[in-house]
Structure 1
Amino acid sequence: MTFARRPLIVSPRYFSAGELIKRVQTADHIGVDEIWLEQQPDQRDATVFAAAYLNAAPTIRVGTAVLPVYGRHPVSMAQSAASLAEVSGGRYMLGLGFSHQFINEFVLGYKQGPPIRVMREYLSIVRELTTTGSVDWDGEVFTAHAQYTSPRLPVPFYLAALRPQMIRLAVEFCDGILLLLCSPRYIREHVMPAVHEACAEFGKSADEFRVLVNLPAYSGSEVAEHRAQWAKYVTSYRMLPYYRYVLDINGKHDPEVLSLIGSREEIQDRLGEYRTSGCVPVPQPIGASLDEFAQTVEDCFLD
């Protein structure tokens, strides 16, 4: 498998659809070869915009990071993933996540189950249907009896995973994991040991299992303002138990340690720290203008 050298996040949360397409095309022109986009409860459908991104940049791979599993039955998720893979010639990557109790129960109205059990059943169904075209599953959480008769291309799977049990599940079923708010030390001391242990258990190569971390990036003229906004964002994530757990283990770091907000030199130094920890840093440019976006992408990837 050939991995991307220049992965990027282009969030569909802000700007017009036309502006987002311009950013994707700008990233493509600079040399980005992989783009991820997230799904939030108050924003556009990430799978629809994944299709738009795939069409706008015909050689770039595009992935969702991540789609919450309670938002779609696994059969529906498999259908959309297989369809995106087909129309893009195999360039779509499916990133999934358990999400949070507030989203699952208050926003969507479900009674959430045990995370590992839910994700194991969900991944089993989606993988079986996208791989073989047929699934018969009567589980404790999900039921699925379906066929998919259209053409199928391989779909790489990624999982949002912060703790050892979920990382183990990801290694068993997926091609990589997706991280947020993780310091280089947390990745080096907690994530990578869990990855190596699980890879040994399941007979996989740790070198071929991708560990991707989302990092907001900005190198424009308003670094101080963006650092202050990022600090507030990090603080707000303490309300979510999964991220509070990670932030507590991270220790008393300045929020900027968890980002790529700064000068070109600072960004390059931080990228080096993350790569040395064993992961693949994925910048998410947060500048308001297209020029700031392009400058940040260049400062992240160009020599």
Structure 2
Amino acid sequence: MTIGVTIPASDTYQAANLIEEFVNQTGQAAAAGLSSVWFPQLLDYDAVMVAALAGRAFPGISVGTGVVPIYPRHPLLISALAQTAQAATGGRFTLGLGLGSKPFLKPAFGQPYPPPVQHLREYLAVLRPLLSGVETEFDGDILSLHPSMPTIVPGAKPVPIVVAAMGPKALATAGELADGTLPYFAGPKALSTNIVPVIGRAAASAGRPRPRVIAVFPAVVTREVEATREVLGERLAAYEEIPSYRRILDAEGVAHAVDLAVVGDEELVAAAVQRYFDAGATEVVISQAGVRSGEDRLRTWRLLGELNKR
């Protein structure tokens, strides 16, 4: 059981050079005693490249993407990026993938949005052998792969794949073809009833090892509780309109995404982390969505580092 954090925090964008700040914060996370840092894929930077740079700069910490949407990226492109990051970090990179949200992504890229679960199944069928060092070809209903040159990076160890899966079909696919799941807003109740048993059964049926279950939720150690919760409420509200997140919030029995945020003192956050481990998480990753200052961020990381060392 390990503890990590997502980067960036909201104070990150105040930096003159965003990528340098990502790397600097990775060093701070490593110094605090955290096991991992995870970078979300937005539209302004490349998360896999950032993970490679940060992981190479600080050998004492694992890095990953949380997460890269598979639409509209061809698996051959993601394979090349992931293998490069794995070789650069000496085997400390995990590729986190997600289905993405059609209402947010389709207007940005302007390409047809495929059936999500079928796309995920074909994607993993192509990507898993590539990231295990196996040259492969593939013809599916959505994807095709017939490379005319090598696709394996010498020196890259096999790359673990985790999927931000929360629905039963996506979880079953992840259990069968990936190494685990990275759900966001799956609270302890939803985790123990809707996530852990479903992906666990799928992995067991496929003869796969016990899957990683990386629970991600927002938490901030701060004195400014009300102001921080207000910021979180604004930043997390959009997730409530996305069907997959709406279903997992309903499974937890909460009306709003901010209801899953843990904001307060060290004792409050430490108890929340333990609840997620008790619910079946193998790893906990704390989202920094509501951090309002570098002081609060470092205070939160000091606590998480202490818990991680225990």
TM-score (norm 1): 0.91
1:230 partner letter: L
Counterparts of 1:210 and 1:61 in 2: how far apart (Å)? 15
Correspondence list, 1:1-303, <5 A:
5-11=2-8, 14-15=12-13, 16=15, 17=18, 18-41=20-43, 43-146=44-147, 147-151=150-154, 152-206=156-210, 209-252=211-254, 255=257, 257-279=259-281, 280-285=283-288, 286-302=290-306
How far the C-alpha of 1:221 sits from its partner, in A, is 2.5
How far the C-alpha of 1:296 sits from its partner, in A, is 0.6
- Secondary structure in structure 2 of the residue aligned to 1:179: coil
Counterparts of 1:255 and 1:121 in 2: how far apart (Å)? 31
Counterparts of 1:12 and 1:145 in 2: how far apart (Å)? 40
Which piece of structure 1 moves more, 281-290 or 111-120?
281-290
TM-score (norm 2): 0.89
- Secondary structure in structure 1 of the residue aligned to 2:158: coil
- Secondary structure in structure 1 of the residue aligned to 2:296: helix
Counterparts of 2:55 and 2:265 in 1: how far apart (Å)? 31
Q: How many residue pairs get matched?
A: 297
Counterparts of 1:132 and 1:52 in 2: how far apart (Å)? 22
Deviations 1:208-256, CA, capped at 9 Å, x for gaps:
x111122222112212111122233343212211111222222236755
Counterparts of 1:201 and 1:283 in 2: how far apart (Å)? 31
2:194 partner letter: H
How far the C-alpha of 1:270 sits from its partner, in A, is 1.0
Deviations 1:101-125, CA, capped at 9 Å, x for gaps:
1234211112112211101111111
2:88 partner letter: V
1:195 partner letter: I
1:290 partner letter: G
Which piece of structure 1 moves more, 264-273 or 224-233?
224-233
1:225 partner letter: A
Which piece of structure 1 moves more, 234-243 or 274-283?
234-243
Contact 1:12 1:38 in 2 (8 A): no
Contact 1:81 1:94 in 2 (8 A): yes
- Residues 185 and 199 (structure 1 numbering): CA distance in 2 closer, same or farther, change over 3 Å? same
- Residues 132 and 204 (structure 1 numbering): CA distance in 2 closer, same or farther, change over 3 Å? closer
- Residues 83 and 20 (structure 1 numbering): CA distance in 2 closer, same or farther, change over 3 Å? closer
How far the C-alpha of 1:65 sits from its partner, in A, is 0.9
Counterparts of 1:134 and 1:12 in 2: how far apart (Å)? 38
How far the C-alpha of 1:262 sits from its partner, in A, is 1.3
The higher relative CO (CA closer than 8 Å, separation ≥ 6) is in: 2
How far the C-alpha of 1:174 sits from its partner, in A, is 1.3
How far the C-alpha of 1:57 sits from its partner, in A, is 1.2
Counterparts of 1:256 and 1:242 in 2: how far apart (Å)? 16
- Secondary structure in structure 2 of the residue aligned to 1:135: coil
- Secondary structure in structure 1 of the residue aligned to 2:63: strand
How far the C-alpha of 1:19 sits from its partner, in A, is 2.9
Structure 1: gaps of 5 or more residues? none
Contact 1:184 1:277 in 2 (8 A): yes
Counterparts of 2:74 and 2:68 in 1: how far apart (Å)? 12
Counterparts of 2:57 and 2:263 in 1: how far apart (Å)? 27
Deviations 1:168-205, CA, capped at 9 Å, x for gaps:
11111111101111111111111122123213312234
Contact 1:167 1:195 in 2 (8 A): yes
Counterparts of 1:256 and 1:160 in 2: how far apart (Å)? 19
Counterparts of 2:87 and 2:104 in 1: how far apart (Å)? 30
CA RMSD of aligned residues (A): 2.0
Counterparts of 1:254 and 1:132 in 2: how far apart (Å)? 43
